[in-house]
Amino acid sequence: MSGAIIEADGLTREFRIRDGKRRRVLTAVDGLTVRIEPGEAVGYIGANGAGKSTTIKMLTGILVPTAGSVLTCALRPVQDRRRLARQVGVVFGQRSQLWWDLPVRESFRILAAIHALTRAEETDRTAELVEQLELGEFLSVPVRQLSLGQRMRAEIAAALLHSPRLVILDEPTIGLDVLSKQRLREFLVGERRLHGTTLLLTTHDMGDVERLCDRILVIDHGRLAYDGDLPGLSRTVGAQRVLVVDLAEPVPDLTGMDGARHLSSEAGGLRQRLAFDAEQTTAAKVLAAVSDKVEVLDLTVEEPDIEDVVRRIYAAGR
């Protein structure tokens, strides 16, 4: 099948809200024009309330756009909602789509019926997902008794059971521990490689974007503020990485280093934070420069944080 998987043109959504006695119009999504091709993995990022969830609801036919148009899998989401549902899987990180009091296995069985999977399809796909998401140990446990990490894996399996062409994940890794996040990302990478699934995910986690997405859309106050890859984004906003060094002895602030800027010192200079631009220098060069002055015991490199990136884009757009 040719053609875009998502094609939004001037997509706009307003909400009329009551603010005390006055009514005002809030524009949640403002003229979004974007085209996503089959097989892409797109990170959709923005601050809380930037319009991410509203966009997703318009893509899936839950909300009717105020203006503009969108085609998802070449279908009109509102009018063709039922046909679209067969091709899209959505995971809402905060809201469960499973049956709270039923065992995970039972939820899958019901969903297979809902999506009219044949016996063979149901068995094969369930087995595949159970193996890859490691659901075996809690298949017969009621959903309400699962840990957050287990539940999220079950949610993802539920959304992918009918092998959708497009998978939309709203904050899939929120609240998960490092290991669970890692597993989930590996699974999504594998799913995409194996089935050519298109991924669209909203997240606050830079790690998700780095490991999963080859394209990033930044939405700010309902408007598309950036469309491109991650290095490009960092370049655009000049987001800097931060080297944190634990030193053998307290030293004065490490200012005046080449390509790095001193941010802060803790414990009287035993731990210092240095910002550097990944375009100009490398962590190794900064580390070498620090090591010339004082012995380094330990170090971490902090990635630019999404909130920070978004803030910078916002500031730049003023």
Partner 1 sequence: MGSTGTVEAGAAETAGLREKLRPYRAVLASRARSQRAYRTSFVLDLASSLLVGLVELAEVWVLFSNVTSLGGMRFNQILLVFGMADLGFSLADLSFGHLDNLPDFLRAGTLDAFYLRPQPILLQLITSDISLRRLARAAVGAAALGIGLATAGVSWDPRTVVLLALGLVSGYATFAALFVWAAGLQFFLLDGEEMTNAFVYGGRYAATQPASVWSRPLKLIFGFFFPMAFTAYLPTVTILGLPGPDWLPAWLGWCAPAAAAWSWLMGLLCWRWGLRHYQGGGG
Stretch that binds partner 1, among 100-108, 202-210, 211-219, 222-230 (CB under 8 A): 100-108
Q: Does residue 102 interact with partner 1 by CB under 8 A?
A: yes
Q: Does residue 109 interact with partner 1 by CB under 8 A?
A: yes
Report in angstroms the alpha-carbon separations of 24 from 21, 68, 75, 154, 224.
Answer: 10, 21, 32, 40, 23
Residues 6+ apart with CB under 8 A from 47: 220, 307, 310, 311, 314
Report in angstroms the alpha-carbon separations of 127 from 139, 161, 201, 240.
Answer: 11, 10, 25, 44
Near partner 1 by CB under 8 A: residue from 17, 114, 127, 248: 114
Task: Give the nearest distance from C-beta 206 to partner 1 in angstroms.
Answer: 27
Task: Give the nearest distance from C-beta 316 to partner 1 in angstroms.
Answer: 32
Near partner 1 by CB under 8 A: residue from 90, 160, 230, 239: 90
Near partner 1 by CB under 8 A: residue from 95, 119, 178, 256: 95
Q: What length is written for the chain?
A: 318
307, 179, 52, 58: CA torsion to nearest 10:
170
Stretch that binds partner 1, among 82-90, 232-240, 241-249, 270-278 (CB under 8 A): 82-90
Task: Give the nearest distance from C-beta 129 to partner 1 in angstroms.
Answer: 17
Stretch that binds partner 1, among 42-50, 57-65, 226-234, 275-283 (CB under 8 A): 57-65
Tokens of 150: 């287990």
Near partner 1 by CB under 8 A: residue from 47, 62, 251, 294: 62
Size of the site for partner 1 (CB under 8 A): 33
Q: Does residue 83 interact with partner 1 by CB under 8 A?
A: yes
Residue with tokens 């991924």: 199
Q: Does residue 66 interact with partner 1 by CB under 8 A?
A: yes
d(CA 275, CA 58): 40
Is the CB of residue 276 less than 8 Å from the CB of residue 301? no
Range 157-196, binding partner 1 (CB under 8 A): 159
Q: CB-based burial of residue 55 (10 Å sphere; 0-12 exposed, 13-18 middle, 19+ buried)? A: buried
Residues 6+ apart with CB under 8 A from 221: 30, 50, 51, 314
> Where does 113-196 show beta strands of DSSP type E?
166-170
Stretch that binds partner 1, among 36-44, 81-89, 126-134, 296-304 (CB under 8 A): 81-89
Task: Give the nearest distance from C-beta 44 to partner 1 in angstroms.
Answer: 17
Near partner 1 by CB under 8 A: residue from 17, 64, 67, 127: 64
Positions touching partner 1 (CB under 8 A) are 13, 15, 57, 60-64, 66, 78, 81-83, 85-86, 88-90, 92, 95-97, 99, 101-102, 106, 109-110, 113-116, 159
